[in-house]
Amino acid sequence: MEAAARLLELLEQRCIRLALAESCTAGLAAHYLSRVPGCSRVLWGGWVVYDDQAKQQMLGISGETLQRHGAVSRETVRALLEGALQRAPVELVAAISGIAGPGGGSAEKPVGLVWIGAAMRDGRELIRRHTFSGTREDIQHQAAEQAIRILEQLVVSIDKDTGSGYRNESAD
């Protein structure tokens, strides 16, 4: 996957290490990155936090956040990012939470809805809402690939924005 190789090269050039917190993709984004030779120079590891209890126990997500906003929400992805940054000796983290289907969707949160975020230890953050289509596997692959693209966008923004402020974007 070209995007994975590009991201890993950008990270290595900048001496940035990466960790991932994946729910609906169950480690697929990490798998894509691991297929690139030399990934161990920047890929620290991650968590598969599919179940809400795993999100709470492994990354410290509050039950209140999950109850109030649900597992598939901007707030939960932000909490996953924060939990990963607190637990991993890295500069960059990504989080993915969504509904891959075929069941589990609702009018408010349909199958294919996935929140994806990336955050830097310096406070930069990019969280986006996506609606993917296709089979469960299609949705998982699209989400993992999009997570890699979002990570790349955040890393590239370091060169474009030399300020140290908070960055957040949302788009479909």
Using a cut of 0.75, tell me whether the model's pTM lies above it: yes
Task: Name 107's Cβ contacts closer than 8 Å, sequence gap at least 6.
Answer: none
Per-domain residue ranges for the chain? 2-110+122-160
- Digit-by-digit pLDDT tens for the chain (172 residues) are 799 999 999 999 999 999 999 999 999 999 999 999 999 999 999 999 999 999 999 999 999 999 999 999 999 999 999 999 999 999 999 999 999 999 999 999 999 999 999 999 999 999 999 999 999 999 999 999 999 999 999 999 987 765 433 344 444 4
Strands 125-131 and 113-120: antiparallel
Q: Are 143 and 24 in contact, with CB atoms under 8 Å apart?
A: yes
Angle at which helices 52-59 and 74-87 pack, to 10 degrees? 40
pLDDT one-digit tens code per residue, 2-43: 999 999 999 999 999 999 999 999 999 999 999 999 999 999
The CATH class for the domain spanning 2-110+122-160 reads alpha beta
How far apart, in whole angstroms, are the C-alpha atoms of residue 169 and residue 148?
16
